[in-house]
Chains A and B, each alone.
Chain A
Amino acid sequence: METKRESESSSGSIIVGVGNTMMLDEGIGVRVVREMKKSGNYPSGFEIDEVGASSFNIIHLISSKNIAVLVDCAYMGEDSGVIRMFTPKEAESRKIRTGLSLHEGDLVQAVRLMEHTGVMPKWLYFFGIEPVEVAPGDRLSPLLDEKLDEYADFINENILSVIKKIEDADA
């Protein structure tokens, strides 16, 4: 998805793992990117970073990037362990917020904010992974833990495919 920017030109590309590693599968995004970083299983020229649950911190990380990839735990109605790639246009947040405190992060809303303020990455993709369980705990469920390499491969392959499409379009 390409978004017209008002002021800043896009620069660099980044893969960001999002989540809380102290809440079991909620931390899958962070665990996956750590695995990718450790093994070097990610496209060259990409930064790898991780962030907790603060939507605003995510905005600061990915604003105006050329390609930004967010890896996160996602309730998508899929079987546990399933990974899907999607763009912001393909998803609507179902979260209900009270607005009573700053602790109600919503990545989809953060993306809308970037769109409206003209700092969207030129290309933005989500990789959502359906959790088995989100509850206090500093590890992953066995199902997701076993699939870390598989997730890394899936993300890497899909990003390479995206890069090829972009290059072909630019050619």
Chain B
Amino acid sequence: MSKAVDINVKHVTRVEGHGNIVVKADDGSIEKVEWQVPEAPRFFEAMVRGNNYDDIQTIVSRICGICSASHSLAALKAVEDALDVKVSEQTRKLRILLNYAEQIESHVLHVGYLVAPDLLGVKSVVPLVSSHPDLVKTIIAAHRLGNEMMSLIGGRRTHPVSVKVGGFSRIPTESQLKDLKKKLEDSVPKLKVIAEAVLGLADKLPAFERDTEYISITNPDHYTFYDGDIFSTDIDKTVDIHDFESVANEYVSAQSTAKWTKWHRDSFAVGALARFNNNADQLLPLAKSIADMFGLKKGCCNPYFNNVAQIVEVVQVVEHSLKLIGELLEDGLDPEASKPPKVETKAGEGVGCVEAPRGILFHRYKFDDNGICTGANICIPTNQNHGNIQKDFEELVPQFISADKTEDEIRLGLEMLVRAYDPCISCSTHYLDVEFV
């Protein structure tokens, strides 16, 4: 291509965290290809120090407005690990449901709000209302279901308040769970509508593949989001979550204020496609049928298909939620079984891990004899994906230039790639910025 390419996508709103895309090329020669993360440090690991063990969840849930349940659950599991607190099977199932509520909310919103406009060639979801009104209404309805589920189990729509160390301060009633079960059953046809709509546009997903290491948790019993060991497509045995630092290998990159990670290669990927690649054999029937519908198979190395994996996972978590709710109702809900126990504090250290919508999430905390936090290490999935986004860029940009793509086409392709990873860019502010007309 005998022309200059100068792409500088800067996130210019006054939101605290963001990413920039920079490409400079001239006459086919690439000078610079960078995924930059100039996100402000937020100091949560420092904030929790000096706080009591039972305040940790409340604080760290505020790391994110979209993944607040995942942060809550990872924190609680880490605290319980440190203080030897065991939870009942009922509590475990309710927590899994809370995690699933978040997966539904996040995946549906991402696919509907950010990915669908790309596939349909529009700037945002708003123009889709005219062209695809039923699809947009279906997306909003599915998101609303996740919202209601979050509120029911977690006690609030965002930043759950009912989850406690060792249990719940309040659990749903049987009639509330029956009502939720009915809504989840009714959502299945709607989810199929979303899946079919995306399937009709799947040819718009770039045919880009790069051999990648995919990391997630795995569990021999089920397709897991809540409990398991660390697994990678590059290894044949699992790693205990307590050794997560040896997996993440966080390091500082000059182009990022967020730490990057690598394990067996220069980078790895986490998230829906990673979970799928590691655990697809355990999908429930309906979810498997959706994967088959898209031709999505284990070993897929096309990062754009993370969005397809998200659709498969929404169906998976709805399907498994129905199973879990059925079991809870059959066993009978017992508030005492989820009553937070009296905790004996002691010095110790614990690790908690869950799969957030965007990938594997690790929390580690240290406590003194009085249960006061003396140290923390939180490793979030978006940071684990930054290096992989960069490596994808490095392979993708030359392909785009060789294919004589225009600057706008390259920009869109790279923006779509970033979107495919569904980065959890800090949602600290939103403010209105208005001009009167």
On chain B, the residues within 8 Å of A92 by CB distance are 434-437
Partner of B129, one of A23, A90, A116: A116
Assess whether B206 is interfacial by the CB under 8 Å rule: no
Assess whether B342 is interfacial by the CB under 8 Å rule: no
Assess whether A106 is interfacial by the CB under 8 Å rule: yes
| Measured CA separation A91–B144 after assembly (Å) | 27
Q: B65 near A103 (CB under 8 angstroms)?
A: yes
Assess whether A43 is interfacial by the CB under 8 Å rule: no
Q: A113 near B117 (CB under 8 angstroms)?
A: no
Stretch in A31-39, A50-58, A146-154, A158-166 with 4+ CB within 8 Å of B: A50-58
Assess whether A44 is interfacial by the CB under 8 Å rule: no
- Chain B 412-426 interface mask (CB, 8 Å, partner A; 1/0): 000100110011111
Assess whether B265 is interfacial by the CB under 8 Å rule: no
Q: A56 near B143 (CB under 8 angstroms)?
A: yes
Interface centre among A98, A106, A107, by most B CB within 10 Å? A98
Q: B434 near A99 (CB under 8 angstroms)?
A: no
Known: A56-B143, A99-B419. A94 touches B14 (CB 8 A): no
Interface centre among A19, A20, A51, A128, by most B CB within 10 Å? A20
Known: A57-B147, A117-B140. A105 touches B427 (CB 8 A): yes
Q: B430 near A53 (CB under 8 angstroms)?
A: yes
Q: B129 near A98 (CB under 8 angstroms)?
A: no
Q: A134 near B431 (CB under 8 angstroms)?
A: yes
CB distance from B192 to the nearest CB of A (A): 20
Q: A108 near B117 (CB under 8 angstroms)?
A: no
On chain B, the residues within 8 Å of A98 by CB distance are 9, 11, 13, 18, 415
Q: B436 near A90 (CB under 8 angstroms)?
A: yes
| Measured CA separation A102–B14 after assembly (Å) | 15
On chain B, the residues within 8 Å of A18 by CB distance are 430
On chain A, the residues within 8 Å of B15 by CB distance are 103-104
Q: B124 near A117 (CB under 8 angstroms)?
A: no
Q: A91 near B435 (CB under 8 angstroms)?
A: yes
| Measured CA separation A126–B418 after assembly (Å) | 34
Q: Size class of A's contact patch?
A: 35 or more
Assess whether B157 is interfacial by the CB under 8 Å rule: yes
CB distance from A11 to the nearest CB of B (A): 16
Q: A74 near B158 (CB under 8 angstroms)?
A: no
| Measured CA separation A171–B54 after assembly (Å) | 56
Known: A91-B436, A128-B434. A53 touches B419 (CB 8 A): no
Q: B428 near A97 (CB under 8 angstroms)?
A: no
Partner of B117, one of A54, A95, A99, A128: A99
| Measured CA separation A108–B13 after assembly (Å) | 15
| Measured CA separation A54–B156 after assembly (Å) | 13
On chain B, the residues within 8 Å of A126 by CB distance are 432
| Measured CA separation A26–B125 after assembly (Å) | 25
Known: A52-B65, A94-B434, A100-B423. A116 touches B130 (CB 8 A): yes
On chain B, the residues within 8 Å of A100 by CB distance are 11, 18-19, 415, 418-419, 423, 425
| Measured CA separation A73–B14 after assembly (Å) | 14
Interface centre among A72, A103, A105, A116, by most B CB within 10 Å? A103
Assess whether B126 is interfacial by the CB under 8 Å rule: yes
CB distance from B32 to the nearest CB of A (A): 19
Residues A36-81 near B (CB distance < 8 A): 51-57, 59-60, 72-77
Known: A53-B429, A100-B18. 6 other contacts (CB 8 A): A86-B434, A94-B435, A97-B13, A97-B124, A102-B113, A108-B432
A-B contact pairs, 16 of them (CB 8 A): A22-B62, A23-B428, A60-B143, A60-B147, A60-B157, A73-B431, A73-B432, A95-B13, A100-B11, A101-B424, A102-B422, A103-B15, A103-B17, A113-B136, A128-B432, A131-B431
Q: Which A residues lie at the B interface, using CB under 8 A?
A: 18-20, 22-23, 26, 51-57, 59-60, 72-77, 86, 90-109, 112-113, 116-117, 126, 128, 131, 134, 136
Q: Which B residues lie at the A interface, using CB under 8 A?
A: 9, 11-15, 17-19, 42, 62, 65-66, 106, 109-110, 113-114, 117, 123-126, 129-130, 133, 136-137, 140, 143-144, 147, 157-159, 415, 418-419, 422-437
